[in-house]
Amino acid sequence: MSKFKVTFTLEEADANYFRSLYRKAKKGAKGQDPDSVIREARAIVKTVRSNKKTPAFVIEAISVLDDLTDIIRDEDYRAPTRVRDAVLAGIAYFSNPEDLIPDHIPGLGFLDDAIMVKFIEDEFKHELWGYRRFKKARDVAEQRPWSDPARERLRERLVADRKKIRGEIERREAKEATKRKSSGYLGW
């Protein structure tokens, strides 16, 4: 099987359309049950992965929803409330199966979801970076967490890692905000 790369550029009007869908989903998320939104997002990931007709690029794009839902739910990571609320609002779009392209249309139904994931991934790129770094550090942190001393070392290390990573996320966001102001970036 040969591979080929397909790229496309969204015109500003197209990008604005997706931004408006995103803003609408964020507003609608305020009235939704967080557990339902997360369940729906995880169900979409599962459906996309299990559907043999789903293109690989859609599977790859939509897998970021796993990390986004984990940011909200991970007790060790403890994302600030503002971050959890923003991520929840970001993934609310995916709880609507009758979005721009209905999900039941074979091969294409998740294309709009994949595009929206890319928008959301860009918005939360620093948080995703931090969460992935935190998970990696946690996974190698303690080999024997069942003993009391090891459990305490792990807890202390996670607190230190979380604080360090949160500081780096804030520095990255501040740097990007400065760059946006100076360059006239129109983004989100």
pLDDT tens profile 154-174:
889 899 999 999 999 999 999
Domain assignment present for residue 32? The answer is: yes
With both helix axes pointing from N to C terminus, report the angle between 34-50 and 81-91 in degrees, rounded to the nearest 10.
Answer: 50
Contact predicate 99/113, CB 8 Å: yes
In sequence order, what are the residues at sequence separation of 6 or more whose Cβ sits closer than 8 angstroms to the Cβ of residue 123? 90, 188
Q: pLDDT at position 58, please?
A: 74
Q: pLDDT at position 172, please?
A: 95
Q: 105 or 149: which carries more pLDDT confidence?
A: 149
Domain assignment present for residue 53? The answer is: yes
Domain assignment present for residue 41? The answer is: yes
For the chain, give the mean pLDDT: 80
Mean pLDDT of the region 128-144: 86
How many domains, in total, are found in the chain? Answer: 1
Q: 12 or 174: which carries more pLDDT confidence?
A: 174
Contact predicate 65/42, CB 8 Å: yes
Residue 9 class from Cβ within 10 Å (0-12 exposed, 13-18 middle, 19+ buried)?
exposed
Contact predicate 21/93, CB 8 Å: yes
Domain assignment present for residue 109? The answer is: yes
Q: pLDDT at position 140, please?
A: 81
Q: Is the pLDDT of residue 108 over 70?
A: no
Contact predicate 84/141, CB 8 Å: no
Q: pLDDT at position 147, please?
A: 77
> Which domain does 118 fall in, by range?
12-183
Domain assignment present for residue 159? The answer is: yes
Q: Is the pLDDT of residue 74 over 80?
A: yes
> What letter represents residue 20's amino acid?
S
Neighbours of 31 (CB within 10 A): 7
Domain assignment present for residue 102? The answer is: yes
Domain assignment present for residue 2? The answer is: no
Q: pLDDT at position 181, please?
A: 77
Q: Is the pLDDT of residue 104 over 60?
A: no
Domain assignment present for residue 121? The answer is: yes
Give the rounded distance of the alpha carbon of 36 from its chain centre.
Answer: 16
**What's 110's DSSP letter?**
T
Using DSSP's 3-state secondary structure scheme, residue 76 falls into coil
Please state the φ and ψ torsions of residue 124, each to the nearest 5 degrees.
Answer: -105, 25
